[in-house]
Amino acid sequence: MSSRYRKARPLWIVVALVATLLGATATGAATSSASTPQPSSSTSPASVLKTTLHYAINKPLCSQPAAPNAMRCFAYQRVDVGKGTPGAYAYVLPAASSRGPSGGLTPAALDKAYGVNPNLRRPKQLVAIVDWYDDPLARADLNSFDRHYGIPTETATSFRKVNQKGKTAPLPAPDGGSAVEIALDIETVRAVCHTCRILLVEANSPTENDLAAAENMAAKMGATVISNSWGEPEHPVSASVLAAFKHPGVVITASTGDDGWYSWDYRNTPGDHGDAVPSFPASDRYVVAVGGTTLTLAADGSRATETVWNANGPHDATGRSRQSPMGATGGGCSKLYAATPWQAHYPGYAAAGCKGRRLAADVAAVADPQSGLDVLDRYGSGGWVTVGGTSLSAPFTAAMYALGDGSAGAAYPSSAVYANAQSHPSQRYDVRSGGNGYCGSDSTTACGNAVFALTLLFGNHNPNHLGHGVADCSFPRDTSDVTSPPLSSECNAVSGFDGPTGVGVPRGPDLFRRTDPTVTIGRAATAKVRKSVTFTARVRATAVGARVVTYLWSWGDGKSTRTSSATTHHTYAHSGKFAVTLSIVDTRYQSVRTQTSITITR
């Protein structure tokens, strides 16, 4: 089981005290530099909104569960504090046209930044939200949210709430902590897709088994997309729990987490040392893992910059000064699950060093509470609050998938992200700045020098030497002293594919449209024993430039044939009705399986 539930050794406390004393001066400078929104090289400074600085901290909205088989939600609230508060970051309010009641972003602001038309007609898309416990004001708050932003009021079919058995009663016990997560999830989906139907499935508890039951119920009730804003340290789970996140033809999104690469951010709490694993279910190969970014808007409401979300600052200056996790998008190479073929062969995957293992994330979207969404939660929070975390990016991406027509029948809809990003690069914004490890936006040279200054007693440049557990992917994980190692894309944004943001962030829903081919089998209805039968695969490729390279035929009589041609032949030795299965693989490494039957007579 993960170290998240083991008692840490006390060396970190000593290191934390040394770090605090020696790093105080550097902390102030780094925090100021990291927290003030900066324009990109392609954006003139005059185009970025300039106004009064405000100060805030990020408050996690879900406590760490004590049980080893329980999930934690990934929501952070932006809480305003006074200037000089330890760990506070500076931010500016968005323009009035982009600002909600609590000073966060409005649905229209997010829609504009990501190229969304929320009024696309998608009534056939049912987006399910799986959470635990009950928010008794979920529907009332959603209706108030709708009215405030001019969204059509909910109907009996546009929003439904059920328990993990699919019944409207009895619902789980109400819980204020869960209420804000539920409000964030359902209101985010409605902000992005005004015409989708929403199904809220409330599990009895945050345990694996209850959430797996709720996940299965969402699929059983016809969900085309399922959003999961929670997770736990990756560890072996039961076959039934694993199966709950594999529903061919259903899009399943999952947050990569709010605690940085391999959850190193927990080390900012004295006595803790992270997990050294990614978060599950985001690490599962069949889900769409969603990372988080910091979004900065220009004065006209368009995207000015988008970087990897890491509120700890360069070389953890902010998190270290506060001795508390500040929030950073999660991820990392799985230690249990293989990468899908479309990820493993995507340009840039090999450079991350996962060696055939799954790498979270696949895609990313806004998550930083600094650029969070204003949501209404009266039961848990008493009103409007600004909330972020990858609990925002997961339902946001789920709704974007719905706008892109869900899976459109694709068995493995995550492949669309990779095929579309490769065929149509303009459909995604390539995040190239920042990291979700200890070094954050630092170069490894600057980060190593900062670590050396904090560890004069040890004389080491490696942040993985500071305590127990790994903290940054670019440095040796055996704590060896290395001054300036190459930047690793496992936890740093680079041009193209990387661990924190996957292929990047969407520019409109087309990034999620189906790309795998459709296939049918042409054959005679009946045939004779010991007579050759001709079978033809009729394929329609939907990814630009893709073509089928492998046809694997299973004849139903214990024999199979692999060909590179769409047409092949088979002879049956006995009469009967046989199931013929065809599996194809195209040049984007997408796989499709179809089946037919043939009757053989004497």
User: What are the tens digits of pLDDT across the range 390-432?
Assistant: 999 999 999 999 999 999 989 999 999 999 999 999 999 999 9
Residue 549 DSSP class: E
Residue 331 DSSP class: E
Do 113 and 429 touch, CB atoms closer than 8 A?
A: no
Intra-chain end-to-end CA distance of the chain, in Å: 59
Tokens (6 digits) for 530: 């010991």
In the numeric block, the tokens 């479309």 are attached to: 342
H-type helices in 193-327, by residue range? 208-220, 239-243, 317-322
pLDDT tens for 128-169 read 999 999 999 999 999 999 999 999 999 999 999 999 999 999
In the numeric block, the tokens 């040279």 are attached to: 445
Distance CA 472, CA 460 (A): 14
Distance CA 305, CA 431 (A): 9
Q: What is the pTM (predicted TM-score) of this model?
A: 0.89
Query: Hey, which residues does 540 pair with through a beta bridge?
Result: 518
Tally of CB atoms within 10 A around 87: 23
Evaluate the CA torsion angle 203, 206, 209, 212 in order and state its sign. Answer: positive
Do 461 and 453 touch, CB atoms closer than 8 A?
A: no
Query: Hey, which residues does 160 pair with through a beta bridge?
Result: 199
Mean pLDDT in each 10-residue stretch from start to end of the chain (602 residues)?
40 40 36 34 41 89 80 95 87 92 96 96 97 98 98 96 98 95 98 98 97 98 98 96 96 97 88 82 97 94 94 89 88 98 97 97 97 97 97 98 94 94 95 97 95 84 87 94 96 98 97 94 93 95 87 97 96 96 93 94 94
Task: Report pLDDT for 379.
Answer: 97
Tokens (6 digits) for 15: 């290191």
Number of H helices, E strands in the chain: 11, 29
Q: Hey, is 562 helix, strand or coil?
A: strand
Tokens (6 digits) for 368: 């930083």
Residue 407 DSSP class: T
Tell how strand 159-163 and strand 197-203 pair up: parallel
Task: Report pLDDT for 43.
Answer: 38
Q: Hey, is 216 helix, strand or coil?
A: helix
Tally of CB atoms within 10 A around 10: 10
Task: Report pLDDT for 273.
Answer: 62
Distance CA 224, CA 158 (A): 14
Task: Report pLDDT for 282.
Answer: 98
Cα dihedral 26→308→291→178 (10° resolution): 50
Residue 490 DSSP class: T
Task: Report pLDDT for 284.
Answer: 97
